[in-house]
């Protein structure tokens, strides 16, 4: 026998990490069109979009953090903090309430950023602190009570329409564009990718690595606080112990399924949106076909595994 | 013993190996040389089962063989030591040495005492005296390499492949390595030795195979091959040309303007245990070499000046302006550019394109209101890719896919784009092919002639002597001598290092 090796036709998986998520969405939509009654009705599409909007917003921030080889577990707690502050400041007007919740986001993000960039904690540990503490603080602020929110302006943000499309969806779409622009066109975006690609090298190149990292965590937390205040606006009440529960996992899933590697140096903004949409579609499909939530969770797990498997870096070159 | 016949390997767009035949005899040290991209790495990977050849035959011990995976090759007795150390930095030295073959006691548990004892004994033979319980990552790069070598030889190897084993070794360690090679040689083990250092080849190798553009251009006894002929075969240049250019591409002419005010002045640099009161100056147009052995504090000095190594005391001045506690940001702004020793870990960003890597440090100048201007980036990238002759399929190619020489050039392009006044180069030609090496060397000359101050660290004595106008010799973090003018010779450098020591 010799080592003569014929060219084997290998399965071409090259484009899969990048475009697999879009393909999956397409297949799922086609399936639903044929097999799910009332799937393609405007009211259903509307509900799906409204439900996915907060996840998309949080996932955008998460994608940026993951792009720096980090992770932010505190996003759900930031949402809770933002939600808890809304009823407190609503007396001074909608603008004051929104500002208060955004400031909370800035504060949490700044603490996360300082812990990661200056103190040098690992992101998962640094953000774990506020993951635990943030929600606790939110419950204390809200005195553990569910508070109704009856401000018409705020309710408009959560349930209103603009040109027939929910305001919530407009806001999410706008934020997607802003983040995509940030990543692709700005100095900050390039620096973010460089930090994620090789932090020591970026530092030696004379870039303000710490400032970039702190900014990234602040952005992520601000996006989470936007998601938090929009959730309050949508359900018209503020419940600090429930808002944004487990959303960090949905957000990380969306980012990973969307093809952004956890190893940093790359951010796929549209992929992240698609990842969130895909997971939403999967859940919706399951519910429409009367499957147990437990089954849904297992299917989600399989999708995550496939996404990670496809996106894994080849060890040999 | 190990042989390939008419092997070809084709990658998309490249014929990496073209009908290559190569034969290693038992007990032979066989040099494998060629520029980067000549096919050396591909050939090694075919021999070790990383790649399967597209055509041709692999023969081992007289029989046709096929290695499906690197593991198969290892089991067959072929060990490889790669250019970059492939061990686990967070595990102890002993653990690394015995990884996968740990000694066990009667209960089947790890026998730590025996492992440590054996490790100590084995490593002593390689001149490594460090505590084997220390984490590998805390050892000097040269010592790590020795551990890798010891590990490779331990696996009852019949063939040992060494890919630039000396690139991170000091002269003393090279001697130890050569001792080990001679011993292996005596035991009838075949060795394939890849190196860019000609001195070493002539010192240790019996036979040589020269690759160029994926083809074998020469194979035979090394002693029969004149040095100048070897270089010309490798480069594919005319011999007269090589002769005229000399061994390195440095002009040798002193370019430093001794009357001018120093562009860089480091005074009293002190950092706990590593640096003690180091002072020197660099004038515009001058190349100052930092000489010394591994661990003498050369890299630390360079990094400290660049703001990437903590200083307890000492000042760094650029054009007479004090940096006041240098940080990397402040150093770059003041006109200091540092090329770190470890290109992959601290230099390039492998996952980004050539373009992004070059523009990285100067983005603010290439943008307005935080928005980057693609056309300005294109202009500057184009300028440096042409000037440094960076070979990439396009500016958008990932830097990680380039050859070492081109990665180094991309890194230099990034430094130059910042418009530095002082260039600090730590091993600028390590692990890059002969052609790129010459280009980098003449670039250093050129930049100095343009008035830049250059600090050069190189463990290649020839490079240091021919490149530098002045050499500051360090030992254990202390300046032990300065060679100037006619003193800048290899002999003076060696005696300065030796004189400073008490070993």
Q: What is the pLDDT of residues B341-351, one digit of tens each?
A: 888 888 888 88
- Please tell me whether residues B308 and B223 are part of one structural domain: no
CA–CA distance, A9 with B178 (Å, rounded to integer): 46
Per the CB < 8 A criterion, the answer to whether A264 and A68 are in contact is yes
Whether residue A1 and residue B66 make contact (CB cut-off 8 A), yes or no, is yes
| Alpha-carbon gap, residue B227 to B462, rounded angstroms | 16
| Cβ <8 Å between A197 and B364 | no
* Cβ atoms of residues B269 and B324 within 8 Å: no
Chain A hits for B360, CB-CB cut-off 8 Å, are 190-191, 194, 202, 205, 207
Mean pLDDT of B107-127: 84
pLDDT tens sequence across B271-323: 877 788 999 989 888 899 998 766 678 888 998 998 888 888 888 888 888 88
- Sheet with B287-291: strands ordered across: B336-339, B422-426, B453-457, B287-291, B470-475, B478-484
**Residue that wins the pLDDT comparison between B100 and B393:** B393
Of B464, B358, B460, B342, whose CA–CA distance to B409 is shortest? B358
Cα separation of the two ends of chain B: 42
Same domain for B153 and B282, yes or no, is: no
Quick one: pLDDT at residue B501? Answer: 42
Q: What is the mean pLDDT of residues B355-383?
A: 87
Residue given tokens 């530098």 in the structure block: B468
Choice among A181-185, B154-158, B180-184, B495-499 with the minimum mean pLDDT: B495-499
pLDDT (mean) for A25-31: 87
The answer to whether B351 faces chain A, any CB pair under 8 Å, is yes
Q: Do B349 and A186 touch (CB under 8 A)?
A: no
State what percent of residues in chain A have pLDDT above 70. 92
Q: Which of A8-22, A251-265, B66-80 is most confident? A: A251-265
Q: What is the predicted pLDDT for the residue at A78?
A: 93
Residue in A138, B172, B499, A201 with CA at minimum distance from that of residue A209:
A201
In a domain, B156, yes or no: yes
Chain A hits for B370, CB-CB cut-off 8 Å, are 186-188
Give pLDDT tens digits for A165-191: 888 999 999 999 999 999 988 889 889
If asked whether residues B484 and B365 sit together in one domain, one would say no
In chain A, the N- to C-terminal Cα span, in Å, equals: 26
Provide, as residue numbers in chain B, all residues whose Cβ is less than 8 Å from the Cβ of A7: 54
What confidence score (pLDDT) does residue A9 get?
43
Higher pLDDT residue, B153 or B36?
A: B153
Nearest Cα residue in chain A from B11: A317
- Asked if A316's CB is within 8 angstroms of B340's CB, the reply is no
DSSP B137: G
Q: What is the pLDDT of residue A74?
A: 92
pLDDT of residue A245: 84
Give tens-digit pLDDT for A5-25: 444 444 445 556 667 788 888
Q: Is pLDDT larger for residue A135 or for residue B137?
A: A135
Q: Do residues B83 and B176 share a domain?
A: yes
- Contact B168/B174 with Cβ under 8 angstroms? no
Task: Give the CATH number for residue B53.
Answer: 3.40.50.300
User: Which pLDDT score, from 0 to 100, does residue B253 have?
Assistant: 57
Residue B208: inside a domain = yes
Q: Which residues contact A17 (CB under 8 A, 6 or more apart)?
A: A259, A310, A311
Q: Is B80 within the bounds of a domain? A: yes
Residues B14, B75, single domain; the answer is yes
Label each residue of B85-124 as H, E or C: CCCCCCCEHHHHHHCCCCCECCCCCECHHHHHHHHHHHHH
Distances (CA, A) of A210 to A113, A199, B435: 8, 10, 39
Taking the C-alpha atoms of residue B463 and residue B430, their distance in angstroms, rounded to an integer, is 11
Of A1, A206, A266, Cβ closest to residue B361? A206
Instruction: Name the 3-class secondary structure at B418.
Output: coil
Q: Which residue has the higher pLDDT, B240 or B367?
A: B367
pLDDT band of B257, cuts 50, 70, 90:
low
Cα gap B201→B199, rounded to integer Å: 6
> What does the mean pLDDT of chain B come to?
82
Mean pLDDT of chain A: 85
Task: Name which of A163-177, B47-61, B279-293, B484-498 the model is least confident about.
Answer: B484-498
Are residues B346 and A201, on separate chains, in Cβ contact within 8 Å?
yes
Pair B270, B207 in one domain: no
Phi-psi region of A260 (alpha: psi -120 to 50; beta: other; left: phi over 0): beta
Structural domain of residue B464, as residue ranges?
248-335+420-503
Looking at residue A3, its pLDDT comes to 41
Provide ipTM, 2 decimals: 0.76
**Is B342 inside any structural domain?**
no
**H helix or E strand, kind and range, residue A301:** helix A293-311
Rounded alpha-carbon distances, angstroms, from residue B361 to B172, B324, B379, B452: 38, 21, 15, 19
Asked if A265 lies within 8 A of B349 by C-beta distance, the reply is yes
Higher pLDDT, A178 or A239: A178
Does residue A208 sit at the B interface (CB-CB below 8 Å)? yes
Q: Categorize the per-residue pLDDT at A312 as very low, low, confident or very high, splitting at 50, 70 and 90.
A: low
Closest CA to B416 of B392, B447, B393, B390: B447
> How do residues B454-482 score in pLDDT, each as one tens digit?
999 987 777 888 888 889 988 778 888 88
Cα–Cα separations (whole angstroms), residue B284 to A151, B126, B259, B261, B303:
69, 43, 10, 8, 20
Q: Which residue has the tokens 């930031």?
A: A78
Rounded CA separation B377/A170 (Å): 34
Confirm or reject contact between B310 and chain A (CB < 8 A).
no
Determine whether B485 is exposed, middle or buried from the number of CB atoms within 10 Å of its CB (0-12, 13-18, 19+).
Answer: exposed
C-alpha angle with apex B192: B190 to B195, nearest 5 degrees? 150
User: Is beta strand B29-33 parallel, antiparallel or unpaired with respect to B190-194?
Assistant: parallel
Mean pLDDT over B189-211 rounds to 86
Residue that finishes a domain, picked among B185, B210, B245: B245
Per-residue pLDDT, B13: 60
Query: Mean pLDDT highest for which of A200-214, B30-44, B489-503?
Result: A200-214
Domain membership of residue B348 (yes or no) is no
Contact A191 B363 (CB under 8 A): yes
Contact assessment for residue B20 and residue B4, using Cβ atoms and an 8 Å cutoff: yes
Of B245, B264, B298, which residue is a domain's last? B245
Are B306 and A204 an interchain contact pair (Cβ–Cβ within 8 Å)? yes
Q: What is the pLDDT of residue A8?
A: 43
B349, B350, B411: best to mutate for the A interface, most A CBs within 10 A: B349
Distance CA A294, CA B44 (A): 51
Q: How far is A202 from chain B (nearest CA, A)?
A: 8
CA distance A217 to chain B (A): 19
Say yes or no: B66 and B32 in one domain.
yes
**Chain B partners within 8 Å of A197 (Cβ):** 349-352
Per-residue model confidence as pLDDT tens digits over B415-437: 998 889 999 999 888 778 778 88
DSSP structural state of residue B248: S
What's chain B's Rg over C-alpha atoms? Answer: 24
Confidence of residue B236 (pLDDT cuts 50, 70, 90): low
Report if residue B345 sits inside a domain.
no
Q: What residue spans define the domains of chain A? A: 41-245
Shared-domain flag, residues B255 and B140 = no
Q: By CB neighbour count within 10 A (0-12 exposed, 13-18 middle, 19+ buried), where does B483 fall?
A: buried
Q: Are A203 and B329 in contact (CB under 8 A)?
A: no
What is the 3-state secondary structure of A72-96?
CCCHHHHHHHHHHHHHHHHHHCHHH
- Mean pLDDT is lowest, of A47-51, A198-202, B197-201, B454-458, for B197-201
| Most confident region among A211-215, B105-109, B116-120, B326-330 by mean pLDDT | A211-215
Number of domains composing chain B = 3
Instruction: Select from B53, B338, B370 the Cβ nearest to the Cβ of A186.
Output: B370
CB nearest to A205's CB, from B56, B361, B370: B361
Instruction: Name the residue with higher pLDDT: A54 or B249.
Output: A54
Q: Are B239 and B153 part of one and the same domain? A: yes
Residues B62 and B193 in one domain: yes
CA angle, corner A224, sides to A221 and A229, nearest 5?
125
Label residues B128-142 b or e (16+ Cβ within 10 Å = b).
Answer: bebebeeebeebbbb
Q: What pLDDT is recorded for position A214?
A: 95
Instruction: Quickly state the pLDDT bin for A86 (edges 50, 70, 90).
Output: confident
Q: Which two tokens stand for residue B476?
A: 């254990």
pLDDT of B497 above 80:
no
Q: CA dihedral defined by B192, B195, B198, B200, rounded to 10 degrees?
A: -70
Those residues whose C-beta lies under 8 Å from the C-beta of residue A173, and which sit 6 or more positions away, are: none
Do B134 and B239 sit in the same domain of this protein?
yes
CA distance B17 to B20: 6
Q: What angle do CA A113, A114, A119 make, to 5 degrees?
A: 125
A-chain residues near B348 (CB < 8 A): 198, 201
* Model confidence pLDDT, tens digit, residues A38-49: 777 888 888 889
Taking the C-alpha atoms of residue B401 and residue B215, their distance in angstroms, rounded to an integer, is 22
Cα-to-chain-centroid distance, residue B395: 25
Strand partners, B383: none
Outline where B236-369 has alpha helix (H): 239-245, 298-305, 328-334, 354-359
Of A265-274, B244-253, B485-494, where does mean pLDDT reach its minimum? B244-253
b/e map of A120-145 (b: 16 or more CB within 10 Å)? Answer: ebebeebbebbbeebbebbbebbeee
As a residue count, chain A comes to 317
- Does residue A65 carry a pLDDT above 70? yes
* CA-wise closest residue to B378 among B399, B394, B400: B394
Between helix A209-235 and helix A167-185 the angle, nearest 10°, is 170
């Amino acid at each position: 026998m010799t080592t003569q090796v014929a060219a084997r036709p290998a399965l071409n998986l090259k484009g899969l990490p990048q475009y697999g998520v879009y393909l999956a969405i397409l297949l799922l939509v086609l399936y639903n069109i044929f097999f799910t009654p009332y799937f393609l009705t405007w009211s259903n599409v509307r509900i799906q979009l409204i439900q996915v909007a907060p996840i998309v917003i949080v996932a955008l921030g998460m994608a940026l953090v993951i792009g720096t080889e980090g992770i932010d577990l505190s996003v759900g707690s930031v949402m809770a903090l933002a939600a808890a502050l809304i009823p407190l400041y609503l007396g001074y007007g909608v603008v004051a309430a929104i500002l208060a919740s955004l400031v909370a986001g800035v504060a949490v993000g700044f603490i996360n950023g300082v812990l990661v960039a200056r103190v040098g904690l690992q992101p998962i540990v640094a953000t774990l602190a506020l993951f635990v503490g943030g929600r606790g603080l939110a419950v204390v602020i809200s005195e553990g009570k569910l508070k109704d929110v009856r401000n018409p302006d705020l309710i408009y943000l959560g349930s209103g329409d603009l040109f027939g499309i929910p305001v919530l969806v407009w806001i999410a779409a706008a934020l997607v564009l802003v983040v995509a622009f940030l990543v692709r066109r700005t100095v900050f975006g390039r620096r973010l990718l460089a930090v994620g690609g090789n932090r020591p090298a970026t530092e030696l190149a004379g870039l303000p690595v710490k400032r970039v990292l702190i900014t990234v965590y602040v952005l992520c937390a601000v996006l989470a606080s936007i998601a938090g205040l929009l959730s309050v606006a949508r359900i018209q009440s503020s419940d600090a112990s429930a808002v944004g529960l487990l959303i960090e996992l949905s957000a990380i899933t969306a980012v990973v399924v969307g093809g952004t590697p956890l190893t940093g140096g790359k951010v796929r903004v549209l992929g992240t949106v698609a990842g969130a949409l895909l997971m939403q579609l999967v859940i919706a499909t399951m519910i429409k076909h009367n499957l147990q939530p437990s089954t849904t969770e297992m299917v989600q797990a399989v999708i995550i595994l496939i996404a990670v498997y496809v996106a894994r870096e080849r060890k040999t070159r | 013993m190990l042989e390939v016949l008419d092997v070809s390997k084709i990658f998309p767009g490249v014929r990496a190996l073209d009908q290559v035949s190569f034969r290693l005899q038992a007990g032979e040290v066989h040099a494998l040389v060629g520029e980067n991209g000549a096919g050396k790495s591909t050939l090694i990977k075919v021999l070790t089962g990383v790649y399967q050849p597209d055509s041709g035959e692999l023969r081992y011990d007289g029989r046709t063989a096929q290695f499906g995976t690197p593991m198969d090759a290892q089991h067959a007795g072929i060990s490889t030591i790669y250019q970059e150390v492939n061990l686990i930095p967070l595990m102890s030295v002993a653990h690394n040495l015995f990884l996968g073959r740990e000694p066990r006691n009667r209960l089947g548990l790890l026998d730590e005492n025996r492992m440590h004892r054996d490790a100590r004994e084995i490593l002593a033979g390689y001149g490594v005296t460090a505590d084997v319980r220390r984490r590998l990552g805390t050892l000097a790069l040269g010592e790590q390499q020795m551990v890798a070598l010891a590990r490779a030889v331990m696996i009852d190897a019949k063939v040992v492949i060494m890919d630039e084993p000396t690139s991170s070794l000091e002269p003393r360690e090279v001697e130890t390595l050569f001792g080990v090679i001679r011993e292996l040689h005596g035991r009838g083990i075949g060795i394939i030795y890849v190196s860019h250092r000609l001195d070493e080849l002539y010192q240790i190798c019996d036979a040589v195979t020269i690759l160029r553009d994926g083809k074998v251009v020469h194979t035979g006894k090394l002693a029969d091959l004149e040095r100048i002929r070897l270089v010309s075969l490798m480069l594919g240049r005319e011999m007269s040309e090589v002769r005229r250019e000399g061994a390195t591409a440095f002009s040798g002419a002193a370019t430093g303007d001794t009357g001018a005010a120093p562009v860089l002045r480091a005074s009293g640099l002190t950092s706990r245990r590593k640096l003690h009161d180091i002072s020197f100056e660099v004038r515009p147009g001058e190349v100052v070499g930092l000489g010394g052995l591994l661990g003498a504090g050369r890299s630390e000095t360079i990094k400290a000046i660049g703001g990437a190594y903590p200083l307890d005391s000492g000042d760094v001045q650029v054009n007479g302006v004090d940096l006041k506690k240098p940080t990397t940001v402040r150093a770059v702004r003041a006109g200091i550019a540092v090329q770190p020793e470890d290109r992959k870990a601290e230099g390039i960003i492998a996952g980004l394109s050539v373009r992004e890597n070059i523009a990285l440090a100067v983005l603010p100048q290439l943008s307005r209101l935080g928005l980057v201007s693609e056309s300005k980036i294109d202009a500057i990238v184009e300028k440096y890719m042409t000037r440094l002759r960076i070979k990439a399929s396009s500016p958008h190619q990932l830097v990680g896919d380039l050859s070492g020489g081109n990665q180094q050039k991309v890194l230099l392009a990034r430094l130059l784009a910042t418009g530095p006044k002082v260039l600090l180069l730590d091993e600028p030609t390590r692990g890059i092919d002969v052609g790129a090496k010459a280009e980098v060397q003449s670039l250093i000359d050129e930049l100095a002639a343009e008035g830049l101050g250059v600090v050069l660290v190189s463990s290649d004595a020839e490079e240091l002597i021919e490149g530098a106008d002045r050499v500051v010799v360090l030992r254990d973090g202390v300046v032990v001598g300065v060679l100037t003018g006619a003193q800048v010779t290899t002999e003076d450098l060696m005696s300065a290092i030796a004189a400073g020591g008490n070993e």
